[in-house]
Structure 1
Amino acid sequence: MPLGRGFGVLWSANALSNLADGIAFVSMPLLAAMMTDDPRLVAGLATMYALIRLLVALPIGVWVDRFDRRTLLVTANLLRGGALLVLAATIQLGAPSLVALYATMAVVGTLESMADNAAVAILPSLVRKEQLDTANSRVAAVQLVVDEFAGPPLGGLLFALAAAAPVFAMGGLWAVAGLIALALPIRRSRPTTASVRTSVYKEAREGIIWLARHRVVGALAIIGALASVGYMLPFSILVLFASDNLGLDGTGYGLLLAFSALGGLLGSFLAPRLRSVLGYRWAIVASLALGAATLIGLAFTENAIIAGVLLALYILHAVVWNICSLSLRQRLVPDGLLGRVGGAARVLGLLGLALGSALGGILGVADLATPVLVGGVVFAVCCAVAAVTLRGDLEGTQVA
Structure 2
Amino acid sequence: MTINRPASEQDGTLLKNRDFMLFWTGQSISDLGAAVTTLAVPLTAITMLRASTFEVGVLTAFSTAAWLVMTLPAGMIVDRVVKRPLMIGCGVARGVVVASVPVAAALGGLTIIHLYAVAFLVGSINVVFEIACQSYLPVLMSRRRLIEGNGKIATTNAVAVAGGPSLAGGLMTVLHSAARVMVVDCLSYVIGIVTLLLIRSPEPRPADRGDRSMRREAAEGITFVLRHPVLRRVVACSSISNLCDAMVTTLVVVFLLGDLGTDPATLGLVLGLGSAGGIVGGVLATSFARWVGGARALWAGKLYLGGFALLIPIGGPGWGVLAVAAGLFASRLSTVAYNVLQIAFRQSICPPELLGRMNASIRWMIRGAMPIGGLLAGILGAWLGARATLAVAVSCSWLAVLWLVFSPLRRQREMPVTPDWS
Determine if the TM-score, normalized by the shorter chain, exceeds 0.5: yes
- In structure 2, the residue matched to 1:190 is 206
CA contact (8 A) 1:78 1:174 kept: yes
Partner residue in 2 for 1:170 = 185
Deviations 1:201-242 (A, max 9, x none): 221111011111111122111211111012112111111111
Going from structure 1 to structure 2, the CA distance change for 1:292 and 1:313 (only over 3 Å counts) comes to closer
Distance change in 2, residues 1:260/1:2 (3 Å): same
Q: Do residues 12 (structure 1) and 25 (structure 2) align?
A: yes
The AA in structure 1 aligned to 2:97 is A
* Residue type at the aligned position of 1:44: V
Which residue pairs with 1:24 in the alignment?
37
**1:258-273 maps to which residues of 2 (within 5 A)?**
258-273=272-287
1:256 aligns with 2:270: yes
Deviations 1:304-358, CA, capped at 9 Å, x for gaps = 1222122111111011111111111111111111110110101111121111111
Q: Which amino acid aligns with 2:148?
A: T
Question: For residues 237-256 of structure 1, what are the structure 2 equivalents within 5 Å?
Answer: 237-256=251-270
Q: Residue 208 of structure 2: SS of its match in structure 1?
A: coil
1:392 Cα offset (Å) = 4.0
* Separation (CA, whole Å) in 2 of partners of 1:212 and 1:226: 16
The 3 A distance-change label for structure 1 pair 340 and 153 is same
The answer as to whether partners of 1:289 and 1:379 remain within 8 angstroms in 2 is no
Deviation at 1:114, TM superposition (A): 1.0
Q: CA RMSD in A?
A: 1.8
Instruction: Pick one of 332, 338, 356 that aligns with 1:321.
Output: 338
Q: What's the TM-score, normalizing by structure 1?
A: 0.94
* Superposed counterparts of 1:111-126, under 5 Å: 111-126=125-140
TM-score normalized with structure 2 length: 0.89
The AA in structure 2 aligned to 1:162 is S
Verify the 8 A CA contact 2:284 2:337 in the aligned structure 1: yes
Please list every run of 5 or more consecutive structure 1 residues that lacks an aligned counterpart in the other structure.
none
Cα offset, 1:186, TM superposition:
4.9
Deviations 1:52-92 (A, max 9, x none): 22210000011111101101111111110011112211112
Q: 2:415 aligns with which of 375, 386, 395?
A: 395
Rate the CA distance shift 1:319–1:259 in 2: closer, same or farther, 3 A: same
Q: Which residue of 1 aligns with 2:172?
A: 159
Aligned with 2:415: secondary structure?
Answer: helix
CA distance, structure 2, for counterparts of residue 77 and residue 291 of structure 1: 37
Name the SS for the 1:164 alignment partner: helix
**Superposed CA offset, 1:237-264 (max 9, x none):** 1111111233322222221111112222
Q: For residue 112 of structure 2, what is the amino acid of its counterpart?
A: L
Alpha-carbon separation, structure 2, partners of 1:117 and 1:55: 14
Whether the aligned pair in 1 keeps the contact of 2:66 and 2:127 (CA below 8 Å) is no
| Structure-2 change in CA distance of 1:84 and 1:96 (3 Å) | same
Runs of 5+ unmatched residues, structure 2: 1-12
Greater displacement, 283-292 / 44-53: 283-292
Equivalence map 1:1-400=2 (5 Å): 1-3=13-15, 4-33=17-46, 34-149=48-163, 151-160=164-173, 161-184=176-199, 185-192=201-208, 196-290=210-304, 292-302=306-316, 303-365=320-382, 366-389=384-407, 390-393=409-412, 395-396=415-416
Q: Distance in 2 between matches of 1:208 and 1:127?
A: 26
- Per the alignment, residue 9 of structure 2 pairs with none
Contact kept in structure 2, 1:57 and 1:346, CA below 8 Å: yes
- Aligned residue type for 2:71: A
CA deviations on 1:109-164 (whole Å, 9 max, x unpaired) are 11111111111111111012221111111101111112211x21221222332233
- Cα offsets for 1:15-69 (capped at 9, x unmatched): 1210112101211111111313321111111111111222100000111111011
- Following TM superposition, by how much is the alpha carbon of 1:281 offset from its aligned partner in structure 2, in angstroms? 3.7
CA contact (8 A) 2:236 2:403 kept: no
